[in-house]
Amino acid sequence: MKKEELIRFEEEIKNIFLDKKIKSPVHLAGGNEEPLINIFKDIKKDDWVFSTHRSHYHALLKGIDKEWLKKEILQNRSIHINNKENKFFTSAIMGGILPIATGVAMALKRKELKNKVWAFVGDMSAEMGIFYECTKYAGRNDLPIVFIVEDNGLSVNTPTKEVWGKSKSKPKIIKYKYKRIYPHQGCGVWVVF
């Protein structure tokens, strides 16, 4: 799909929204067409794509029919487009799709399949703990997943750097090792009442 086609689709959705034919929120994309077109050149038909609330471009580039997508948006599902046939799933929960995407990557590895998982997040989600947990887990387990951070510099309408603040220094962390005496829970003896 070409840049102009993506832009035309979002313009059409914008006009339908302005005509009050869509009752739910819509999150339109724009300005990121070229980077996405380049990324999707590497995404294969059998790969899994996990997206965000701003998923229209991702869906179209994954090969989802634009009339099907438009129908979903008109049925107020813009922020949670899911299409099993195209292995395309989204979540409106900020960062909420990441553990699912990581789990699918683990399943692909265990089944020794060649597919990859592609997980998209915004720059706000990339600052959250769930992003670090998933990327760390994926790295430690050599999972077939690629994380893509779409950085527009904004968390809703506030600059992301302003939301999270600037680091003045590295946090002070004390780490020590010990051998525990008791198990994780209880005292190591079964007590029958």
What pLDDT digit, counting tens, does each position of 23-72 carry?
A: 998 888 899 999 999 999 999 999 999 999 999 999 999 999 999 999 99
Task: Quote the pLDDT of residue 182.
Answer: 75
- Please report, as a single letter, which amino acid is at residue 31: G
| Residue 117: closest CA among 43, 61, 41 | 43
Q: What are phi and psi of 97, to 5 degrees?
A: -80, -15
Task: Quote the pLDDT of residue 107.
Answer: 98
Angle at 175 between CA 174 and CA 177, to 5 degrees: 145
Helix (H, G, I), strand (E, B) or coil at 83: strand
Place of tokens 């994926």: 138
Task: Quote the pLDDT of residue 124.
Answer: 86
Task: Quote the pLDDT of residue 72.
Answer: 96
Which domains, ranges and CATH numbers included, belong to the chain?
A: 3-164 (3.40.50.970)
Other beta carbons within 10 angstroms of residue 156's beta carbon come to 9
| Residue 120: closest CA among 181, 63, 54, 75 | 54
Query: What separation in angstroms does the CA of 184 have from each of 97, 106, 176, 178?
Result: 30, 26, 18, 14
Task: Quote the pLDDT of residue 174.
Answer: 65
Place of tokens 């689709």: 9
pTM of the model: 0.85
The token pair that represents 95 in the structure block: 């960062």
Instruction: Give every residue of the chain whose pLDDT is below 50, as ranges.
Output: none
